[in-house]
Structure formats: C-alpha cells, structure tokens
Amino acid sequence: MFALHVSDTHLGAVPNGLLSRARDVYEVFKETIDIALKERVDIYIHAGDFFNTSTPPPEAYVVAYRGLKKLKDRGIKIVAIAGQHDIPKKYAVSPLAILRDVSVVDVIAIDSIVNEEMDIGNKKLILYCVPYTFKNKIPSVIPSREGKAILMAHLLLKDVGIPSPEADISLDMVPLGFHYIALGDYHIRTVFRHRDGAPAVYPGATEVHRLSEHGEKYVALVDLSKNDVAVNFIELQNVRPWIIIQCDDVARCVNNILENAKTILSKGKKKPLAYILIEKIKTEILSNYLDDMVSKGSIEYYILSSSEQKNGEEIKAYDHSYLEQLEHIDVLKILVSILGEESVARHLLDLIENPDKQLAEQFVNFLRNNESIVKELEAKIKKSSIQEMAKSSQTFITNNGGKSLRKLLK
C-alpha cells in the first residue's frame, strides 16, 4: 500500500507577478498527478494549502478538477485537509468544498476534524484529518490500534525552529500510536521522528514562492505495507530553477549568470530566474545586460537587490521585484492611519479581501448604528478637503506673484 504525500501546491498563486510563474505552479501540480499515476499509489494525500486563496481564479479550479479526476478514474483515493489559505475569512465557502461537490475528492476536512477508515486491498487505513483551524486539538486525537493510523495536519511545528506565534504545537504534543504523520505549511522538505519512531514529514511546497525557499522541491512516496513506514522523496522536475549570486563587477556577474543558465538549460530544465545581490555597481548598466538575457531566452526573469550596512543593520535599497515588497505591507495599518478609526478600517479590509453583498450590508448597518463615527469621518474628510483647497490656492497665488484673481481673469 503506497501513498503520495503532497502539500502546499498553492494553485492560483502568481509568484513574482509573472504569468509564466503562475503556469509553473499549475505545471508542477500536474506533475504530482503524473507521479501518483506512474507509481501506482493507492492514495493521494494533500496536507493543506491546496489553493493560494479562498477565492482562486477559474483556471485553478479547472487544473485541480482535471488532475484529480485522472486519479479518481484510476481508482486512487484522494484525501485533503484545509490549510489557512484554503479557509475563507467570513461567510464564504472554501474552494475545497467545490472539489468535494464535484466528486473528485473522497475525504476533505475543512471545518472539523475528520476520522476516516478505508480498506485498501487487504489493509485497513485510518486517517485522522486535522485542518488548520483545529491544529490545537491534535493532543486529543487518539489513534486506533487497528490498521495503519495516519495523522494529517497543516501547521508549523515548534520543532522547525522558526520564531513565530503560529508555531504553537510541538511534535511531543502529538499522541503516540500514529504510523505516519503527514504535515503541510512549512515549504521546505523536512523530516522529524516522533518519540515512538513514526516519521513526521513536510514534503514542502511544490514550487518556490520566496527567495528563502529556493532549491529542489519534492513529493513524498510513502510505503505503508510494512510495520516500519518507509519514505522516499521524488524530486519535481518542473520547478523553476533559480540562479542566486552576489555581484560587485558587471562583466564577471554577466558571465556567471550566462554560464549557470547554460548549464541549467543543457539539462532540459526551465529558463532560470536570476536573483542578484548587487554591491557598488550601477544598476542601470547591469539591467541592460539582464534585459538582453531575458529577450534572448537565457533567463526567464531577474530580481536585483542592493543592500548596505548601516549601524550594523542591513537596509534594502533596491528590489526589482515589486510584489515581494507588497507581501510585507500592513494594509490595515494604512487604512487606520487614513481613517483614524480601526473598526471602520477592519470593515473596509474585509470588503477588499472578500467582496460580498452580505459584508457590504453589515458595513452599512455598522455605520447607521454608529452616528458619532460617521460624523468624525465626515469632519475629517471636510477638513482634509479644505486644507487641500487652501494649499492649492496658496500655490496658485505664489506662482503668479501674488496677483489678484480679478486681474488674472481679465
């Protein structure tokens, strides 16, 4: 009995804001389907963040449906749990529910922990499926002693070593008795051993979404036929390669990128994405060479980053990748600074992230029931408009030597 363990496919993502990178995400997902078929697995398990958002584009649904249907047509069982990206914030349906409704998934856990028993061949498999919002319930999930028990969970373990408030569960908190622990959320392939010997595995994301994640990407082929579960990793071939170099000389930098790109392309890989940390050289000169590489097909895209040391801190001075910067913008903070009212800002942010008639009606009712807030906002807007008019008038008068309007209009 074999399982293919996949996670963090993030269908619908557009890394680096490029259409070709969106295709990369879809192509590597399709590769996981091909691997499952080639290896003749019995079950395909997805450990969360199937989609990149709770409102993915239509193409994401099409790619997901077609891929999963191939597995269903071959009798392969499909189990998926919701990661935080699969879960809508309010009053909406998870995209995973659509896959369930069109009958291309056998078991899905979205808003509850799901226990499912399957007979595959002459083996009994018991799945304990824990979606992201129920990760804190893991210590109370007690496995059966009959059959092979698999825990599926989407969470960032403390054991990974990332200082984050999201990392609030450790592997020691997982009860004894599971034969395999299938994890999702952490994007880099990582293997732990539970205290009873069971492998706890992050196969990692199927594509590179951030610089820190660059490198080979994998799916886990899990042999459940023996007492001791065996895990083999299969490298995904459709992942976009990266070239990462530090550059303080234009000629040497260009030659380095070209040589690396030539090696990558000779292996039948995709055109690489180049990330260059520049030091003490003119960005414009290097950009001209890089633009030429893109036009000639040597590289797919490039990101230039410049940093300098100041008081022991690294300060990013230039980054060609605009979307990477946007990931770190606190939209709520910006709205609060503009409006001066956090409750209104939160309502607006909900509408921006999830346009919905019901949310709009709630916002209107909120304003109707909070007359004082509305008056404050109106006063703020009026004051801002008067100040802007005064500023414009002052600029007009200054630019025209203090002449009166009456004389100017003659």
CA distance linking residue 49 with residue 205, whole number of Å: 9
Q: What is the mean pLDDT of residues 72-78?
A: 96
More confident residue, 149 or 338: 149
Write down the pLDDT at residue 386: 57
pLDDT band for position 91 (50/70/90)? confident
Range with lowest mean pLDDT among 72-76, 149-153, 326-330: 326-330
pLDDT 10s digits, 315-344: 333 333 433 333 344 566 677 777 777 777
Structural element, H or E, at residue 202: strand 199-202
CATH superfamily entry for domain 2-235: Metallo-dependent phosphatases (3.60.21.10)
Edge-first strand listing for the sheet containing 313-319: 242-247, 273-278, 301-310, 313-319
Nearest-10 Cα torsion for 29, 30, 35, 36: 90
Write down the pLDDT at residue 407: 44
What does pTM read for this prediction? 0.76
pLDDT band for position 273 (50/70/90)? very high
Write down the pLDDT at residue 316: 35
Q: Note the residue count of the chain.
A: 410
Write down the pLDDT at residue 399: 53
- Angle 266-267-273 from CA coordinates, rounded to 5°: 85
Q: Are strands 123-130 and 148-154 parallel, antiparallel or unpaired?
A: parallel
Write down the pLDDT at residue 246: 92
The angle that helices 342-353 and 371-399 make with each other, rounded to 10 degrees, is 90
CB under 8 Å to 41, separation ≥6 — which residues? 2, 3, 4, 76, 221
Q: What is the mean pLDDT of residues 259-272?
A: 96
More confident residue, 195 or 338: 195
Q: What is the mean pLDDT of residues 245-271?
A: 95
CA distance linking residue 363 with residue 347, whole number of Å: 6
pLDDT band for position 240 (50/70/90)? very high
pLDDT band for position 307 (50/70/90)? low
Domain boundaries, the chain: 2-235, 244-326, 331-399
| DSSP classification of residue 239 | S
Asked if residues 194 and 202 have their Cβ atoms less than 8 Å apart, the reply is no
Residue 108 Cα to chain centre, angstroms: 20
CA distance linking residue 178 with residue 181, whole number of Å: 7
Write down the pLDDT at residue 163: 86
Residue 165 Cα to chain centre, angstroms: 18
* Residue 186 identity: Y
| DSSP classification of residue 298 | S
Q: What is the mean pLDDT of residues 72-80?
A: 97
Choose among 407, 5, 403: nearest CA to 203. 5
More confident residue, 364 or 187: 187
What integer best gives the mean pLDDT of the chain? 85
pLDDT 10s digits, 370-380: 888 778 877 77
CA distance linking residue 41 with residue 72, whole number of Å: 12
- Angle 2-206-240 from CA coordinates, rounded to 5°: 135
Looking up tokens 């234009």, which residue turns up? 250
